[in-house]
Amino acid sequence: MTLPALDPLLHQPARTQLVAYLSARGETTFSELKRVLGVTDGNLGAHLSKLVEAGYVATSEMEHGRRSQTAYTLTPAGRIALNEYVARLSALMTLSVDGEVAGDASFPTDGHPVS
Amino acid sequence: MSPDDRLQDIRSMLAAGHRCVHLERSTLLLLGGVGGFLSVVTEWVITDTRFPDLGTRGMALLIWLAFWLGGVSLLEHRLTRRARERRAETLPFAQAQVTRAWWMLLSVGCLGSFAMFFYGGGSMIYTLWTVLLGLGVYFFGLFSRPLIEWIGLAIILLGVAALAAGLPYGGTRWLAASAFALGLPLAGWLNSRVGDAGMHQRTLALGLWLVLVVTPALLMARSNHTPPPAAPPLALGAQALGSGEQVLRLEVGTPIPLRLDLDSLFLQAPSHAELAMTLAMPVEVALSDGNPDGRYRFGDGQWRDIRDGLLQLRIDRLRGRLEDGRPVVRAHARLDSQDFTGGDQ
């Protein structure tokens, strides 16, 4: 039996949360993401860069009075990736309930290391 | 982390993203303060002595409410945007939409208050505002934390319960004032402490909110006694009515004719037309410079003010019929005081 492969980019707790939040919230600033996820600037910046590189998240500049802010939105590709990730997780969970998957270590991730 | 935990994580972040509307402290204080202020002082500003004509009075109320509520809505909108900018956050789409719905509810309240001058239902005016406030808070709550949603629902139910329980007009007024002035800031305070807590703590917070909002309203309604006049009662015709404060005692059987002043295109009534009525129980009426000042009491009961809204006249049937071959209009009306029908004041 072939286990459904998980997107390695999304298979990281902070990035999963980030993409899920963006999916529901819409356009969001760095400060808000930092507050909601409770991560450091560096950590959040690194995760966002990876998602932007993969085309899952798009950036735009917003004027906040005299200041300029970068706003982040989930792209259609990011939304599709999240939906697929959730579908595959659900499938894995069904298998897990049936006793075919033991735990996290056996999650297949398209052959890429999770970082 | 199991797939179940990950899915749970995703669900909670989706919920956080959907429920991202945040009611600023300035919003709660401003709307609560202005709503409470309007509930208390509007009756002292828009009076029938200041605006004797009904249409003018209705228009004055509309302008008064639109000025305060329009002003506070604009100010609140600016302050909310500024607070979001200060925190470098975007205004969620849901918040912009709910704010529009909130403005719509305020407009409905203003127009409803205006319409009551012409179409009746004035005794429900504060209940209307309480229910509209509840709806507004509930809409915000749908996209904010569940406690706000519960409080919105509680305000709606309070308004409906007040009406169903026959709370006197004065009581509904204090309830509306309390729901605005105490309820909104208190909702914000409780939400910041137990907004994300479990069902048990949320239920306790809601209970505390109800006690702290309803108790002052009921106490105010109860303590809002009409001051009794100092003058001793005079019998009708016993002494010439003079200046200053006097009390007129009307005994059982005193004729109180109802004079009809009818404006109609198709019916005419003579200017002296009157319905002969007599008092069924003694009444004392306070006079100021020979004219009733609005204070009255039945027998030796408690003094009331006509503006308390305890006297209610309902014309529930008005039918044209033929009696002995003559056309007749029969009206059935009910004039009651909540002194006798169990209303609590």
Residue A5 within any structural domain of the chain: no
Smallest Cβ–Cβ distance between B89 and the set A17, A32, A101 belongs to A32
How much is the pTM? 0.77
Of the pLDDT bands very low, low, confident and very high (cuts 50, 70, 90), residue A105 is: very low
Nearest by CB to residue B4, choosing from A35, A36, A93, is: A93
Q: Between A13, A24, A62, which is nearest B17 by CB?
A: A24
Residue A111 lies in a domain: no
Residue A75 belongs to domain spanning: 13-106
Tell me what pLDDT residue A97 has: 64
Say if residue A71's pLDDT is above 80: yes
* Token representation of residue B339: 């002194």
Contacts of B285 (CB under 8 A, 6+ apart): B247, B248, B250, B292, B295, B296
Q: What is the mean pLDDT of residues A67-75?
A: 86
The angle that helices B184-194 and B25-45 make with each other, rounded to 10 degrees, is: 160
> A103 and chain B: CB distance < 8 Å anywhere?
yes
Give the minimum alpha-carbon distance from B138 to chain A in angstroms, rounded to a whole number.
Answer: 20
**Cβ distance of B13 and A21 shorter than 8 Å:** yes
d(CA B306, CA B298) in angstroms, rounded, equals 12
How far apart CA B166 and CA B143 sit, in angstroms, is: 33
Strands (E), B148-243: 233-235
Please determine, for residue A108, whether its predicted confidence score (pLDDT) is greater than 60.
no
Q: Is A13 on the interface with B (CB under 8 A)?
A: yes
Cβ-based contacts under 8 A for chains A and B: 85
Question: Is A39 among the domain residues?
Answer: yes
Domain ranges (residues) in chain B:
3-223, 233-337
**ipTM beyond 0.85?**
no
pLDDT tens string B85-107: 888 888 888 888 999 999 999 99
In the stretch 68-87 of chain B, residues with CB closer than 8 A to chain A read 85, 87
Looking at the 3D structure of chain A, how many domains does it have? 1
Share of chain A above pLDDT 90, in %: 38
Question: For residue A2, is it within any domain?
Answer: no
Chain B residues in contact with A29 (beta carbon < 8 A): 88-90
Tokens of B247: 């009390």
pLDDT band, very low/low/confident/very high, at B338 (cuts 50, 70, 90)? confident
CATH of the domain at A66: 1.10.10.10
